[in-house]
Amino acid sequence: MDQTKNVFTIQTFNSLINGMLSIVIPLLMIERKIDIVTIGFVFSVLPLVFQFIRLFFGAISDIIGRKLFFSFNSILNIILVTIYYFAFSPLEYLFGKITEGIKNASLWSVNRASLLDHRKDKKNVLLKLMGIANIAYAVGMIIAGFLIAWLFYENTLIICIFLGFLVIPLAFMIKGLKKRKLCIKTTFNILDIRKKSKIFKSFSLLSLIRGLSIGFISGYIFPLFLKENNFSVEMIGLIFGFNMLLIGVFSIVPQKIEIKKLILYGGILYSIVLFLLGLSAYYLAALLVVILGIIRGLDHCIFETIISKLSNVKSYGGDVGMLTTGLQVGIAVSLALSGFVITYFGFLGLFSSAALIYAAYFILTYQTFKKV
């Protein structure tokens, strides 16, 4: 199989599994009487583990090659779902989230980089990867809603384990030549942000602000929000699934639109819809969650375009890791706080905070790239 197609196929199966877990796990934790504040803390661990593991995996893969990390990811898919199958306490779910962070990091540390290694159309191939990832994630969500209703949570997890086995042969088919001998000094040189450009450093900080906003609408937030609005499990899967489907489609569609216009108009729409979401209920809430998918797709397009422009050909893995570190730290902080915000200020406080923070992000990003 062609290397690019193989990477896309591996990404499809991973995103399908992750999409199913994104519906199953938060609803299963609520079903097992774990409180919202604890759920927020458990989910906040994932982006931190994911990012810091990915940062080093990405830098190491720039030295020794990508294949090892694809193989590691394929095995962890099965281990992860098995952990969730037997989890009942917050500590067990925490262990699951740590494993999920390592599993996702092993893939995302090399998937972008392995495509950039072999392709000249960097922006297009990255946008296609994100489109595939989000569409497969959406399909997983939609499937999960119906599977939970028909087969219950545990049997849905067994199906995820089966899908995990399908990734293993694909991962071992990846062609990965060892580039050079692993050296700790070389690894840290790749991760030395002092050697990066001023705009690289600026965007690393801007991604932190973006993460603080996204964290308030990530993880368990939308499944819980829709459940609070009395939607069934099937409808939660459908609504959230369409949200992710539109993210996938609209992260690819606006490729030819000027980046500065995307930042400006996308940012305004994003902030307005998030604020309105906090004031909405039931059918209007569901509609706005779906519409938000279009705007988040534009946001993904902007982010991937910027990454493709700022990453260096000799250190794709490390550069992508550094550019997204702030993002994941921001998401982790917001997720950790989200349970408290919902408990004391409700979803209006949560979504209004996300809207205000995102407004700051897009204004600063527009000013930064206006000069480029």
Share of the chain above pLDDT 90, in %: 41
What's the whole-number mean pLDDT along residues 299-324?
A: 72
Instruction: Considering only residues 320 and 5, tell me which one the structure prediction assigns the higher pLDDT.
Output: 5
pLDDT at 127: 75
Question: What type of residue sits at position 94?
Answer: L
Answer yes or no: is pLDDT of 189 > 60. no
Average pLDDT, the chain: 84
Alpha-carbon separation of residue 124 from 15, 51, 249 (angstroms): 19, 24, 13
pLDDT digits (tens, 9 = 90+) for 144-187: 988 988 888 899 999 999 999 999 999 888 776 555 555 555 55
Query: Could you read off the pLDDT of 198-228 as tens digits, one per residue?
Result: 777 778 788 899 999 999 998 889 989 999 9
- Taking residues 4-8, what's their average pLDDT? 86
Three-state SS string across the chain, please?
Answer: CCHHHHHHHHHHHHHHHHHHHHHHHHHHHHHCCCCHHHHHHHHHHHHHHHHHHHHHHHHHHHHHCCHHHHHHHHHHHHHHHHHHHHCCCHHHHHHHHHHHHHHHHHHHCCHHHHHHHHCCCHHHHHHHHHHHHHHHHHHHHHHHHHHHHHHHHHHHHHHHHHHHHHHHHHHHCCCCCCCCCCCHHHHHHHCCHHHCCHHHHHHHHHHHHHHHHHHHHCCCHHHHHHHHCCCCHHHHHHHHHHHHHHHHHHCCCCCCCCHHHHHHHHHHHHHHHHHHHHHCCHHHHHHHHHHHHHHHHHHHHHHHHHHHHHCCCCCHHHHHHHHHHHHHHHHHHHHHHHHHHHHHHHHHHHHHHHHHHHHHHHHHHHHHHHCC
Q: Which domains does the chain have, with CATH numbers?
A: 3-173+198-370 (1.20.1250.20)
Q: Return the minimum-mean-pLDDT range out of 38-52, 95-109, 233-247, 357-371.
A: 357-371
Inform me whether the pLDDT recorded for 314 exceeds 70.
no
pTM (two decimals):
0.81
Query: Tell me: the pLDDT tens digits for 320-366?
Result: 777 788 888 999 999 999 999 999 999 999 999 999 999 999 888 88
Six-digit token string for 363 = 């204004």
CA distance 41 to 343: 13
